[in-house]
Amino acid sequence: MSLQTLRSIRLALGITAAVAVSYGIGWPLAYVMPILTVLFLAIPVWITWPGAVKVVLLLAVALLIGVLISEFVLHFPLLCVPLYALLFFMIYYTSSPGAPPLVPLFMTMGITLIPIISFSGTMVAHLVAMALLFDMAAALFFAWLFHSLLPDSLLQDTSAEVKKAPPAAAVQIIEKERIRLALVSTIVASAAVLLFFALNLSHYALAMLYICIMAGTPDQNASVKFIKGSTLATVIGGVAVIVAYNLLVVSPTYLFMVFLVLLFSLLFSERIYSGSSLAPAFQSGFTTFLVLLGSSTGGSDAASSDFYLRIAQILFAGLFTILGLVVVEHLLRPRLQKSSTIPAA
């Protein structure tokens, strides 16, 4: 067995177990737990319990900020909009370029989801905050469990593979460019928050969250790679979940759903650890698959019609982010090349 095979099995079994437990118990926002589990199981090694505690505290702080915004700031636009712009700039600027987007993801989730959900009621926002915190703790437990059951150290050639693939050097960006990239991301994310809050689009919070997360990748702003990756990931996850959802309509049973999750998890995990250039797209597509599957199998009578609407939200988020990044990049980036081509007199 190769190291890639071991990691694929670990990811597939861990996600299947997380789905089986969370969907079986069915606490509020239970489908979020497997999505968070993917983030930590995809990491080759366990982040250690001190690191896990830091992650929980980070999310708790973000959720607390979101609660405070919904309680005291949300209904004062002249104060709310600049505050969000400042928060987004701090998140995007302090995030290390090229690093896994865990910090911007958790901070963005806390400060955006809670306030927009508060439009449906303050108590609802508080319950969602507590549910997200519980989901994070449960996800970390499942990640620790399967990292312990199937660690990389089971294979003797682990050390050899590590030597062959040394960690890549961190991407270095000069201070001026880092500020500009953070500003680009801030403008796009702030525009999305302003649009969704002004129109009270709490039912489309998923699209707003995706916009804020995708905008927080300054090293890929307005690039062809970003456009292709986002589109391909959405298509991969969307096609997979369409197949799974229609199979569940034929046989809507709990055991069959768990079996489908195991099957698709094996398919995705094999591609994620294949080492191909499409591996990142399949990892994002797997997250999209879990988001759409979980939020569309809650037993509601409107689940069938809402299912394709959720896919449309993610597609809208991708288009909004891409167009926003391109426009803002075009307006902010100085046209040095054009001036340098002017011939001297």
Asked whether 35 and 287 are in contact (CB, 8 A), the reply is yes
Could you write out the DSSP letters of every residue in 68-123?
HIIIIITT-HHHHHHHHHHHHHHHHHHSPTTS-THHHHHHHHHHHHHHHHGGG-HH
Residue type, 233: A
User: Alpha-carbon distance 111 to 92, whole Å?
Assistant: 13
Residue 285: its pLDDT value, please?
A: 85
Contact 132, 52 (CB under 8 A): no
Burial of 60-81, coded b for 16+ CB within 10 Å and e otherwise, reads bebbebbbebbeebbeeeeebb
Q: Going from the first residue of the chain to its last (345 residues), give the mean pLDDT of each consecutive group of 10, the final group possibly shorter.
A: 88 95 89 90 88 89 92 86 91 64 76 86 86 93 94 65 48 72 87 87 79 67 56 80 86 91 94 84 85 66 56 79 81 55 49
**Residue closest to 113 by CA, chosen among 140, 143, 142, 133:** 133
- Quickly list DSSP for 124-182: HHHHHHHHHHHHHHHHHHHHHHHHHHS-GGGSTTHHHHHHHSPPPPPPP--HHHHHHHH
| Residue 266 CB coordination number (10 Å) | 17
Q: How far is CA 56 from CA 11, 16, 97, 118, in A?
A: 21, 23, 22, 22
Joined tokens for residue 172: 């270095």
Contact between residue 8 and residue 273 where contact means Cβ atoms under 8 Å apart: yes
Q: Answer yes or no: are the C-beta atoms of 310 and 295 closer than 8 Å.
A: yes
pLDDT of res. 23: 92
Q: What is the pLDDT of residue 209?
A: 78
Which tokens belong to 123?
A: 């108590």
Answer whether 207's CB lies under 8 Å from 316's CB: yes
pLDDT of residue 225: 61
- How many CB atoms within 10 Å of residue 125? 25
Q: Is residue 127 within 8 Å of 28, Cβ to Cβ?
A: yes
Domain extents in the chain:
3-162+174-333
User: Residue 24 is which amino acid?
Assistant: G
> Does residue 10 contact residue 146 with C-beta atoms inside 8 Å?
yes
pTM: 0.78
